[in-house]
Structure 1
Amino acid sequence: MILTEFDYVRPAGLDEALTLLSATRNARVLAGGQSLLPDLRAGTVRAGLLVDIRRLEELRGITRTPGGPRLRIGALTTLAELSADPLVLAGAPELAAAARANGDPQVRNLGTAGGNLAAGGRATDLPVAAIAADAEVELAGPGGRSTVPAERFAADGAPAGTVVTALLVPAAGPAAAFEKTADRATRYPVCATAVRITPGGPRIAVTGATARPLRLRGVEDRLRGGPYTTDAVLAAFRAEPRELFVPGRGTSAEYLGHLAGVLTARALARAQALA
């Protein structure tokens, strides 16, 4: 039962949704509802107005962008759709794997790409894969459309009055992977890592074990040029400052740093095999 009071509206288009969000104090976007509704039930989030964008077809679908090797993933694309889409499986397999690792079938059938990216305060799976893929988050607001790097979006979130409209992902081929150790009760990651091997070296990002999804540039530099053996990866992670890893229930910084290294080694091995 949701004990807070709020108004509800279902706009006919994105412009109407943006007007409502800008004009109403404490308005919130309702998409899949897999994060927002539990928060409303628990009373950890308050909303004066829910702006239901679930029927805005312009925010759905996965396509290649004109004139460039990028995928445009609409914000209302469900995690189930994202995990099985042929374009994503071929060009950004770390995103498909991250979507497939979320929750259970009901969560994946209702949860959306945009909602997973914007679920502030939760260690969800998609942001870390987006960071490893060098993706950008597309936003619509009163001033028009803009894009921000996925890493910056993970740190700052969406500005007030804006809506996540798409994720723009370089389609670099199969040399990418995602690995996760999940909390058994919530399915949120205790630690998840995503990697993408590029001509300039690996891109590596971690979530769950850190305060927010982070790209680990220090580890990348230590592994540049290879080899990506388990020993080399674990040595690179041991050189990271322990305060980077945030202890959780029954875990220490040392354990989480080691776990992140093990998962990253597995992901790099899988990415190399796929390549």
Structure 2
Amino acid sequence: MILTDFDYVRPVGLEEALTLLSGSRGARVLAGGQSLLPGLRTGETVFDGEDAPLLVDVRHLEELRGVERTPDGLRIGALTTLAELAAHPLVLAEAPELAAAARANGDPQVRNLGTAGGNLAVAGRATDLPVAAIAADGLVELAGPGGRSTVTAEDLATTGVPAKAVITALLVPAAGRAAAFEKTADRATRYPVCAAAVRITPGGPRIAVTGATARALRLRGVEDRLRGGPYTTEAVLAAFRAEPRELFVPGRGTSAEYLGHLAGVLTARALQRADQALA
């Protein structure tokens, strides 16, 4: 049962969808619906403005689907499902942390309905794909009233999707096998208690965590301490112990000290797997 009254429209193309979003202050994009629909059922989803809530259904727009190789890496359409992302040969070969994050998300029903764009759009909640996108140095492509633009995955995790804009794609450089993702999940919700994603680049490791922190976050201080290796568990844990304790936010019965340690353990596992893939 859905407790919120709303209007529904199914635009024929992206431009019509953007026009509809711009014309109603109470409009929301409906893609996979794995975050929006539960909020409508419980009444937790709040619509902006005084207009009647309007769901703009973009699920059928083929222009927002698919994975393709580009000169700079991969372009992943926003409506690509998490199940498709987890199994796609290009993603498995060139962005394995994204495939692993998609595979770790929820259960099969969630992965078959949830989309890459929808997972990236949930700012302020610990989800799997944003942390992998940050580690991958990903750019999120947006379409809105002002035209097309891009924002870093890291910035999107902080600001959320701009009003009246739609995520159209995730752009990531190719990493080969030198990337990995690790997660400890809440048993009830499958959201991460903590998740870590890494890439090993010629300039050093890129490391991002979520769940243990207030938002998906790149840990530049840890990266600097581990530049040049080694990626032993002891070295990684020491790098994490040097981080400010207030960085890690206690919750769900866990302390900041525990979460900082857990983040270090998961990061060490991910770095060791990525490093082994380079050997």
- What TM-score do the two structures reach when normalised by structure 1? 0.98
Q: Is the 8 A contact 2:124 2:214 kept in 1?
A: no
Partner of 1:24: 24
2:55 pairs with 1:50? yes
Separation in 1 of the partners of 2:183 and 2:196? Answer: 6
Ranges of 4+ aligned residues in structure 1 off by more than 4 Å: none
Separation in 2 of the partners of 1:226 and 1:264? Answer: 13
Partner of 1:86: 89
Partner of 2:50: none
2:177 pairs with 1:174? yes
Which digits, 9 at most, give the CA deviation of each residue in 1:193-243, with x for residues without a partner? Answer: 000000010000000000000000000000001111000000000000010
Separation in 2 of the partners of 1:10 and 1:25? Answer: 17
Separation in 2 of the partners of 1:119 and 1:150? Answer: 12
The alpha-carbon deviation at position 28 of structure 1 amounts to: 0.3
Q: 2:67 aligns with which of 43, 56, 62?
A: 62
Partner of 1:75: 78
Tell me the SS of whatever aligns to 1:64: strand
The alpha-carbon deviation at position 124 of structure 1 amounts to: 0.6
Q: 1:142 aligns with which of 141, 145, 163?
A: 145
Partner of 1:239: 242
Partner of 1:10: 10
Trace 1:1-275 onto structure 2 (pairs within 5 A).
Answer: 1-47=1-47, 48-65=53-70, 68-275=71-278
Separation in 1 of the partners of 2:228 and 2:276? Answer: 17
Separation in 1 of the partners of 2:214 and 2:42? Answer: 22
The alpha-carbon deviation at position 121 of structure 1 amounts to: 3.1
How many equivalent pairs are there?
Answer: 273
Separation in 1 of the partners of 2:158 and 2:37? Answer: 23
Q: Is the 8 A contact 1:242 1:253 kept in 2?
A: yes
Which residue identity does 2:94 align to in structure 1? G
Tell me the SS of whatever aligns to 1:134: coil
Which residue identity does 1:19 align to in structure 2? T
Which digits, 9 at most, give the CA deviation of each residue in 1:160-182, with x for residues without a partner? Answer: 01000000010121100000000
Gaps (5+ residues) in structure 1? none
Tell me the SS of whatever aligns to 1:139: strand
Separation in 1 of the partners of 2:3 and 2:226? Answer: 51
Separation in 1 of the partners of 2:35 and 2:243? Answer: 32
Which digits, 9 at most, give the CA deviation of each residue in 1:14-43, with x for residues without a partner? Answer: 000000001101200000000100011111
Separation in 1 of the partners of 2:26 and 2:226? Answer: 45
Tell me the SS of whatever aligns to 1:46: coil
Separation in 2 of the partners of 1:273 and 1:227? Answer: 12
Separation in 2 of the partners of 1:178 and 1:19? Answer: 38
- What TM-score do the two structures reach when normalised by structure 2? 0.97
Which residue identity does 1:56 align to in structure 2? L
The alpha-carbon deviation at position 142 of structure 1 amounts to: 1.1
Which residue identity does 1:201 align to in structure 2? G
Tell me the SS of whatever aligns to 1:168: strand
Separation in 1 of the partners of 2:127 and 2:84? Answer: 17
Separation in 2 of the partners of 1:3 and 1:79? Answer: 27
Separation in 2 of the partners of 1:272 and 1:27? Answer: 45
Which digits, 9 at most, give the CA deviation of each residue in 1:77-110, with x for residues without a partner? Answer: 0000000001000100000000000000000000
Which residue identity does 1:266 align to in structure 2? R
Q: Is the 8 A contact 1:176 1:267 kept in 2?
A: yes
